[in-house]
């Protein structure tokens, strides 16, 4: 590519401030998700009663309990996340050229944020919080987690596409063999969903020892949610096969980006998740470890989305640059 072409292309790029803001919004959303995990792990989902969006029917909380403070903080930070997503959408449209792929990702992020708010409101109104063992809670939680992952994927794609120096508009990219990469992403989503159900089982039916936990998992008298806990590590092991295939493919594709460092990062995050998962079982899922496991899963998911985008949305030019 000539220096003149590079200069013209650089002039069409989003500002550095917009790119930093997009990544900051992603980090903030992950923090909100972690706090939501704390709400579930501590059984604080009913801390504001069945009121929404108000907390216990008021805005200002007088002498609140701990569970009320945890739930109210989650609602407050979630509200800020909606406005940050809208701000990212407006700034992306103002700061990019027509046809920029980040615009679509920003729109999707706002849509998924709205769905997230609706699901959160229904969670409270239907009473599917705290120690509720309603048969609706597990499928509802799976739906909620799926939307959360799609939301994170949209935010990650937006930030990634804003950071690209080429291949960021509809007429400058081509789709390359997306089926396998998308299948790997779907499998990872399944791992996330089964993980959320396993975490719910740990919250509702805590075990007093590792032996008791294993007995619960395989007892015919246990509820299906408890016996589901072994499904999560099984699905995770099977998913690693798809991920390893994706990483091998990525390490060999360097026409546009050097994917080796990102592949190593994904592999390291995957290994860390296995370690945290084993500790989760051995230590009987303490709250801090559940949050650490969730953080690792969110970061792994974001890295995987970027890697998948690099493999499937290829620029038409073939020069190597970060």
For residue 272, count CB atoms less than 10 angstroms from its CB and return exposed for 0-12, middle for 13-18, buried for 19 or more: middle
pTM of the model: 0.85
- Residues in the chain, overall count: 322
Read off the tokens for 317: 């030019």
- Indicate if the pLDDT at residue 41 is higher than 90: no
pLDDT of residue 141: 81
**CA 184 to CA 141: how far, in whole Å?**
22
CA torsion 182→183→186→188, rounded to 10°?
A: -100
pLDDT of residue 233: 79
Among candidate residues 134, 157, 117, 136, the one with its CA nearest the CA of residue 36: 117
Ramachandran area for residue 168 (φ above 0: left; ψ -120 to 50: alpha; else beta): alpha
Least-confidence region, from 46-60, 103-117, 210-224: 210-224
Residues of the chain with pLDDT > 70: what percent? 82
Confidence of residue 285 (pLDDT cuts 50, 70, 90): confident
**CA 1 to CA 296: how far, in whole Å?**
39
Quickly tell me which residue has 């299948």 as its tokens: 183
pLDDT of residue 113: 96
Average per-residue pLDDT for the chain: 82
Could you give the count of Cα atoms lying within 13 Å of 210 in the half-sphere of its Cβ? 6
3-state secondary structure of 127: coil
- Indicate if the pLDDT at residue 77 is higher than 70: yes
What does DSSP assign to residue 14? P
**CA 80 to CA 316: how far, in whole Å?**
38
Mean pLDDT confidence for 69-75: 86
Give the model confidence (pLDDT) of 138-190 as tens digits: 788 888 889 999 999 999 999 999 999 888 998 888 887 777 777 777 888 88
């Amino acid at each position: 590519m000539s220096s003149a072409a590079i200069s013209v292309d650089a002039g069409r790029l989003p500002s550095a401030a917009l790119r930093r803001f997009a990544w900051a919004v992603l980090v903030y959303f992950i923090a909100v998700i972690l706090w939501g995990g704390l709400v579930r792990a501590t059984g604080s989902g009913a801390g504001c009663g069945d009121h929404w969006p108000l907390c216990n029917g008021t805005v200002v909380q007088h002498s609140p309990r701990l569970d009320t403070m945890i739930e109210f903080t989650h609602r407050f930070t979630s509200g800020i996340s909606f406005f940050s997503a809208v701000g990212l959408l407006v700034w992306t449209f103002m700061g990019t050229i027509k046809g920029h792929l980040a615009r679509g990702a920003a729109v999707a992020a706002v849509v998924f944020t709205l769905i997230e708010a609706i699901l959160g409101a229904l969670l409270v109104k239907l009473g599917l919080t705290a120690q509720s063992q309603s048969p609706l809670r597990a499928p509802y939680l799976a739906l909620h987690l799926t939307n959360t992952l799609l939301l994170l994927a949209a935010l990650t794609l937006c930030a990634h596409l804003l950071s690209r120096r080429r291949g960021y508009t509809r007429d400058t990219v081509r789709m390359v063999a997306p089926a396998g990469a998308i299948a790997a992403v779907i499998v990872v989503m399944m791992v996330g969903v089964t993980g959320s159900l396993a975490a719910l089982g740990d919250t509702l039916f805590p075990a007093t020892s590792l032996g008791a936990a294993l007995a619960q998992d395989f007892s015919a008298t246990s509820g299906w949610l408890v016996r589901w806990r072994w499904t999560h590590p099984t699905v995770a092991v099977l998913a690693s096969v798809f991920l390893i295939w994706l990483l091998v493919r990525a390490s060999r594709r360097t026409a546009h980006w050097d994917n080796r460092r990102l592949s190593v990062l994904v592999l390291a995050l995957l290994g860390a998740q296995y370690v945290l998962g084993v500790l989760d079982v051995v230590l009987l899922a303490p709250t801090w470890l559940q949050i650490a496991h969730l953080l690792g899963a969110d970061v792994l998911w974001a890295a995987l989305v970027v890697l998948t985008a690099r493999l499937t949305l290829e620029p038409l030019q073939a020069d190597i640059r970060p």
